[in-house]
Structure 1
Amino acid sequence: MAQATGNFVTNLPVLDGNNWSRWSIQMKAIIGYQEVVDLVEEGLPVLEEGATEAQRNAHKQNKRRDCKAICLLHQAVDNAHFELIAGSATAKEAWNVLEKHYAGAAQLKKIRLQTMRRQYELMQMDEGERIADFFTRIITQVNGMKSCGERMEDAAIVEKVLRTVTPKFDHVVVAIEESGRVEKMRIEELQGSLETHE
């Protein structure tokens, strides 16, 4: 958690390449707290020719706030990401560089998730496979999908397992389905029931 000293955050989350989604949410909150979010999102307003003294003073204040925002960004990235944004003249430019960098990563994650979904849909328990091994395969696939942003409820996984176990477990599957517990059943509980009958 970030701590504030006076009006400045001293303990920032650090973008390390694996945490863009979480980091960007945290940084938007910190940037909002520091009252510089407008500069990150909209950019530094341009000072028009023949500006009044008040407009020049406002521009000077905005430049100071933009420096504060870019300073926050510099402190909240690891060395590799710092190199990406080091040449950025404004906080908006630095933020856009990071967003563009991670847009490709997000697209890759979507493609990988589609592949994992397909593999998950095709998973079946092999003849002679032990329940523990089948559950390990299922859980490994589910964890991979969750790491790509997929939300999966235990009930959906339980139903998947019940549909895909070998026919020798048909009597157990029928008993579980008739008990009406499928929606509330935990994965571990199902594994225990199936291993008991193995």
Structure 2
Amino acid sequence: MTYSGKIPVLGSDGYPYWKGRMEAFLVSQSQNIWDATQSTTFVVLPVAERTTQDIVAQHEANAKAVNFLFSGLGPMDYETVSHLKTAREIWSLLSAHYEGTATIKARLVETYRREYENFV
């Protein structure tokens, strides 16, 4: 597969904008590359243990996804995730960093709901 197009860069437009563009970009490169950002079961194996074509393909998709994600980050965000090995870990950490965890989101919704009810 040949890369064509411009990798979305996380910048002043904000994380939600980047996230949507990066998802579209990764899917356009290959569904397997996007799947690498969503797989909770993928584990990086030593080269000697990559014994089947499916496992090799998963590792290649993960490597491409990691490369695209790293290429779309500025220095500070890169520093935050550079130690991670899988696309899923990177995607999840960025999501938690910018969007918060499910618990934080639920608390924010409750807070905003209360503020709205008190305002009306």
> Which amino acid letter does the alignment assign opposite residue 21 of structure 2?
Q
What displacement does 1:78 show?
0.8
Q: Distance in 2 between matches of 1:65 and 1:98?
A: 19
TM-score scaled by length of structure 1: 0.45
Q: Distance in 2 between matches of 1:45 and 1:99?
A: 18
Give the structure 1 partner of residue 8 of structure 2. Answer: 13
Give the structure 2 partner of residue 66 of structure 1. Answer: 62
> Which amino acid letter does the alignment assign opposite residue 85 of structure 1?
V
Structure 1 residues 46 and 60 mapped into 2: Cα distance closer, same or farther (>3 Å)? Answer: same
Contact 1:44 1:66 in 2 (8 A): no
SS at match of 1:8: coil
> Which amino acid letter does the alignment assign opposite residue 32 of structure 1?
V
Q: Distance in 1 between matches of 2:76 and 2:54?
A: 34
Contact 1:45 1:59 in 2 (8 A): no
Q: Distance in 2 between matches of 1:88 and 1:39?
A: 13
Give the structure 1 partner of residue 36 of structure 2. Answer: 39
Greater relative contact order (Cα 8 A, min sep 6): structure 1 or 2?
2
What displacement does 1:10 show?
4.8
Given the alignment of the two structures, is residue 104 of structure 1 paired with residue 100 of structure 2, yes or no? yes
Q: Distance in 2 between matches of 1:99 and 1:10?
A: 24
Given the alignment of the two structures, is residue 93 of structure 1 paired with residue 89 of structure 2, yes or no? yes
What displacement does 1:39 show?
1.0
What displacement does 1:91 show?
0.5
Count of residues in Structure 1 that have an aligned counterpart in Structure 2 = 106
What displacement does 1:18 show?
5.3
Given the alignment of the two structures, is residue 24 of structure 1 paired with residue 19 of structure 2, yes or no? yes
Structure 1 residues 14 and 59 mapped into 2: Cα distance closer, same or farther (>3 Å)? Answer: same
Identical residues among aligned pairs (%): 20
What displacement does 1:16 show?
2.7
> Which amino acid letter does the alignment assign opposite residue 56 of structure 2?
K
Segments of structure 2 that go 5 or more residues without pairing to the other structure are: 45-49
Q: Distance in 1 between matches of 2:82 and 2:15?
A: 18
Q: Distance in 2 between matches of 1:71 and 1:44?
A: 20
Q: Distance in 2 between matches of 1:65 and 1:37?
A: 8
